[in-house]
Amino acid sequence: MTERRPLGRVLITGGASGLGAAVADAVAAAGGTPVVLDLDVSRVEGHEAVQADVSDTRAVEQTVRELVERLGPLDAVVTAAGIDRCGRLLDVEAAEWERVIGVNLLGTVAVVRAALPSLTERHGRVVTVASSLALRAVSDATAYCASKFGVLGFSRALAAETRGEIGVTTLIPAGMQTRFFDDRPDQYRPGADAKLNDPANVANAVLFALQQPEGCEVRELVIAHEEEPSWP
């Protein structure tokens, strides 16, 4: 049986909460070294953590480069940072709409760009976090859908561009039991009977992709609650 690949040092954006925090804990439990990058790291315990706004693309690129200089090369990057602003296009303020693109898409690209030399050196891996709404568009989610469709396209192109140099997996999760929905108006929050996945289960899927033996890549991975209504 082929042995799982060691995890090494894994940079996780959005690693202070939700899926990112679950990934950080899973990486540590599996013997890897998580490095958390988040807007608020005040509640992160037990992991290396650095404050950064991924939507400030030039600044976060510099932060990633400084992390590599200080800690050493990265073996993997997981881009779990994400936000949403629900509402019809004309009802969402332009600055808020564009911030969703800034965090979810441009932040993903900036972090990967800065980490790429280090990842190439280590023949490392990237797991970008898209969404079931990268495959299925819904009303009142133009910013989120645009950002996640963009993540999917970026990831596929990156996989083609870096074939044989690094691994690239696009994670496509459906709804999870996190605080992601907390700042939404009630009409956009999942109901009490919503079928949401445990983020720990999704984090295990991330580890599955990261630990594939060299030469074997999970290119796209959809993971959802068995009764998830948004898939397919």
Catalytic residues: 144
Tokens 């990261």 belong to 210
Burial class (CB in 10 A: 0-12, 13-18, 19+), 26: buried
- Cβ neighbours around 216 below 10 Å, total: 9
> Helix, strand, coil proportions of the chain in percent (round to 5)?
45, 15, 40
Q: Measuring CA to CA, how many Å separate 103 from each of 39, 83, 106, 209, 232?
A: 11, 7, 6, 23, 26
CB neighbour list of residue 2: distance below 8 Å, 6 or more residues apart? 213
> Widest CA span of the chain, in angstroms?
55
- The tokens 């404050």 sit on which residue? 51
Instruction: Give the pair of three-digit tokens for residue 176.
Output: 């999870």
Give the phi and the psi of residue 167 in degrees, each rounded to 5.
Answer: -100, 145
Beta strands (DSSP E) in the chain are: 9-13, 33-38, 48-51, 76-79, 125-129, 167-173, 220-223
